[in-house]
C-alpha cells in the first residue's frame, strides 16, 4: 500500500500564545477529495498554511507522500508537489493571465514537453481565450479559475484549496466545484477547505468538521441530507 498523499499527525499550530490547531490528525489517501469545514476561526486555513510551510509547526508532524515537510520553506514544499490555491485567490492583477499561469510553473518538478500551460487551458478554456488580458480585468469567478489553473500547471500531487467559493456568484461556484472532478481524474489528491458545508460534504469522499482547532466529526457523502448532523457539528463548541 502506497503512503498517503498527506498525513497530519497530532499537528499543533500557534499564532503567538494562541493555539489555533490542536492535535489534529488526518490522512488523505491518493486520489481522494477530502473536505475540511467548520466555523470561522476553526483553524482550517491555518492548517493549510502550516502544510504549505507558511506557518511554523508547534508540535506534531506533517508528511507528504510519507516524507516530513515540517520546517521546510514554502517554495521547497511547492517543489515537493504541493500546490495551494490561497484564500482571496491572490492572483497578480497587474500581470497578464498567461504570466500568472507561467508563475505556477515555478513549482513544477520537471518539464514533460508540449505546452506547459495546456493543463490549465483544458480545464478552463476561458483562460486560453483571455491569456493576453490583464488578470485584474477578469471577473471574480474567472480569477478563481485562474488561481486554480496556476496551481494545476505545477503538476502537483496534492492540491490544497482555501475557500475557493468565497465571494463568488452561485453560477461561478458551480464552475469551480465542477472542475474538482476533472482535477481528481488527473490523479491529483485534493484537500478542500470550504464554508459551503453541504456542497463540500456532497463532493468529498470524507469531510472533517473542525471547531476551535479540534476535529469534531467526520461526515461522508451519505450525510449530505442530514442537515441536523452538520449543524450539530458546527455548534458542538
Partner 1 sequence: MMVASVDFQTLSDAIGLGAIYALMAVGIGLVFGVLRLVNFAYGQLVMAGAYTLAFTSGWPVAGSILACFAVVVALSLAMERAVFRPLRGQSPAVMLVTTFAIAFVLQAIALIVDLRDNTIGEIASSAAPLNRSVSVGGVDVRKITIVAIAVAVVTLALLALLLTRTTIGLHTRAAASDFRTARLLGVRANRVIGFAALLSGVLAATVSVLLTVQAPFVSPDFALRDTIVVLVGVVVGGIDRLWTATLGGFTIGFASGVINGALPTDKTVYLPSAVFALVILVLLLRPAGLFAWGRHAAAERV
- In the complex with partner 1, the residue whose CB is nearer, 79 or 229, is 79
**CB distance 109 to 185 below 8 Å:** no
Q: Is 84 in the site for partner 1 (CB under 8 A)?
A: yes
Q: Among 1, 2, 18, 94, which residue sits at the site for partner 1 (rule: CB under 8 A)? A: 94
Closest residue by Cα to residue 61 from 76, 51, 75, 49: 51
Cell of 152: 494545476
Q: Which stretch binds partner 1 (CB under 8 A): 37-45, 62-70, 95-103, 186-194?
A: 95-103
C-alpha 70/C-alpha 68 separation (Å) is: 6
Site string for partner 1, 152-181 (x = CB under 8 A): --x---------------------------
The residues near 42 (Cβ < 8 Å, ≥ 6 apart) are 210, 211, 212, 213
C-alpha 69/C-alpha 77 separation (Å) is: 7
In whole angstroms, the minimum distance from the beta carbon of 49 to partner 1 comes to 9
- In the complex with partner 1, the residue whose CB is nearer, 106 or 232, is 106
Q: Which stretch binds partner 1 (CB under 8 A): 1-9, 11-19, 101-109, 204-212?
A: 101-109
C-alpha 8/C-alpha 45 separation (Å) is: 14
Judged by CB under 8 A, how many residues of this single chain contact partner 1? 27
**CB distance 3 to 68 below 8 Å:** no
Which residues in 204-233 contact partner 1 (CB under 8 A)? none
C-alpha 56/C-alpha 20 separation (Å) is: 12
- In the complex with partner 1, the residue whose CB is nearer, 83 or 158, is 83
- In the complex with partner 1, the residue whose CB is nearer, 124 or 230, is 124
- In the complex with partner 1, the residue whose CB is nearer, 92 or 234, is 92
**CB distance 198 to 180 below 8 Å:** no
Q: Is 72 in the site for partner 1 (CB under 8 A)?
A: no
Closest residue by Cα to residue 211 from 13, 34, 43: 43
C-alpha 234/C-alpha 39 separation (Å) is: 6
Cell of 73: 520553506
Which residues in 43-62 contact partner 1 (CB under 8 A)? 52-54
Q: Which stretch binds partner 1 (CB under 8 A): 18-26, 29-37, 71-79, 186-194?
A: 71-79
Q: Which stretch binds partner 1 (CB under 8 A): 35-43, 100-108, 120-128, 189-197?
A: 100-108
Contact residues: partner 1, CB under 8 A = 52-54, 73-75, 78-79, 83-84, 86, 90, 92-95, 99, 102-108, 136, 150, 154
Amino acid at each position: 500500500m502506497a503512503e498517503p498523499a498527506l498525513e497530519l499527525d497530532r499537528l499543533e499550530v500557534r499564532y503567538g500564545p494562541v493555539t489555533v490547531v490542536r492535535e489534529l490528525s488526518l490522512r488523505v489517501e491518493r486520489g481522494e477529495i477530502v473536505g475540511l469545514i467548520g466555523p470561522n476561526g476553526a483553524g482550517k486555513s491555518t492548517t493549510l498554511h502550516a502544510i504549505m510551510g507558511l506557518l511554523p509547526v508547534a508540535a506534531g508532524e506533517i508528511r507528504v507522500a510519507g516524507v516530513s515537510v515540517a520546517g521546510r520553506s514554502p517554495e521547497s514544499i511547492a517543489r515537493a508537489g504541493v500546490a495551494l490555491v490561497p484564500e482571496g485567490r491572490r492572483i497578480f492583477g497587474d500581470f497578464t493571465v498567461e504570466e500568472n499561469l507561467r508563475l505556477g510553473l515555478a513549482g513544477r518538478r520537471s518539464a514533460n514537453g508540449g505546452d506547459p500551460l495546456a493543463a490549465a487551458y483544458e480545464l478552463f478554456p476561458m483562460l486560453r481565450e483571455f491569456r493576453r488580458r490583464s488578470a485584474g480585468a477578469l471577473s471574480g469567478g474567472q480569477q478563481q479559475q485562474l488561481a486554480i489553473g496556476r496551481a494545476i500547471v505545477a503538476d502537483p500531487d496534492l492540491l490544497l484549496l482555501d475557500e475557493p467559493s468565497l465571494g463568488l456568484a452561485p453560477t461561478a461556484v458551480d464552475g469551480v466545484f465542477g472542475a474538482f472532478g476533472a482535477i481528481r481524474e488527473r490523479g491529483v489528491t485534493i484537500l478542500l477547505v470550504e464554508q459551503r458545508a453541504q456542497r463540500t460534504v456532497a463532493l468529498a469522499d470524507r469531510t472533517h468538521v473542525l471547531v476551535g482547532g479540534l476535529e469534531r466529526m467526520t461526515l461522508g457523502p451519505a450525510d449530505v441530507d442530514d442537515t441536523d448532523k452538520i449543524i450539530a457539528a458546527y455548534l458542538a463548541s
